[in-house]
Amino acid sequence: MYPLIPLGRSVPAVAAIAVGTETIRKVDFLAGTGNRFVAEGKRQLFGEVGIDLFAGPTEVLVLADETADPFTVAMDLISQAGHGPDTPAVLITTCPKVGRETIEIVNKLLSATDLSTPDVAKVSWDAFGEVIIVDTLEELWELGDHYASEQVQVIGTNHILPTRTTARYTGGLWVGKYLKTCTYQEVTLPESSGKLGRLCGRAARPERFEAPARSGDLRANRHM
C-alpha cells in the first residue's frame, strides 16, 4: 500500500498536519520553508508540535573585495530580492568601485522586463538593499558576522536556514532536527547514591525546598 501524500498549500496545510483531520494523521514535528503566513502558523503551533525554526524573510549577504565581478554580485542580490518585498539584500565590500558599479547594474537590471519578479525585487531593493564600504577585510568579516545573514554567497547543503541574525546561535535544518536526545546517568555503587543524596539535601535547603532535601536525606541515611 502506498503512503498517503496530502496536497495542500500555506496555512490550511500546516494546520491540517499539525492537528490532524479525518484523513491526515497528526504529526509531532513541522519542518520546511514557506511564506510569512506559513511562518506565523508554525510560530503559533509551536508547543502543540515541534518546529525546525521560525524563519523570517529570505536574506542575502554578498562579501566582496576588488576581485569581484559587479555584474555577478548584482545578479546574486537580485536573485534573492525577488523572493519577496521584504527581503534584505546586502553587499559588503572593501572596494568602492565594486560597490558603485554594483548599484548601477542592479538599477539597470531592475528596469528590465525579462525578469520574473522585477517589481517585487525593486520594492525589496529600494526598502532593504544596502551596499556597505569598509576599509579592511577584518571589518568585512566582522560586519558579516554581525549581520549573520541567512544566505551568504558560499555554497551550502540546504536552504532552510536561520534568518534575522539568529545564525549567531543556531544552524539550519539538518537530520538532527528529527532526532530526540535522551540523556541518563547511572550510579553503580550504593555509597555513591548516599553521597549524592547528601549533596542534594545541601543544595535544596538554601532554596527552601524541604521535601526534595528530605528525599536526598533519605538516600544519604540509607546508603552512607
Q: Which residues are catalytic?
A: 150
Q: Please list, residue by residue across 113-134, b when 16 or more beta carbons sit within 10 angstroms of its beta carbon and e when fewer do.
A: eebeebebbbbbbeebbebebb
Rounded to whole angstroms, the Cα distance separating 75 from 114 reads: 13
Rounded to whole angstroms, the Cα distance separating 130 from 110 reads: 15
Rounded to whole angstroms, the Cα distance separating 106 from 125 reads: 9
Question: Cell 539568529 sits at which residue?
Answer: 166
* Other beta carbons less than 10 A from residue 55's beta carbon: 25
Q: Please list, residue by residue across 136-167, b when 16 or more beta carbons sit within 10 angstroms of its beta carbon and e when fewer do.
A: eeeebeeebeebbbbbbbeeeeeeebbbeebb
Q: 46 with 175: CB under 8 angstroms?
A: no
Rounded to whole angstroms, the Cα distance separating 191 from 95 reads: 68
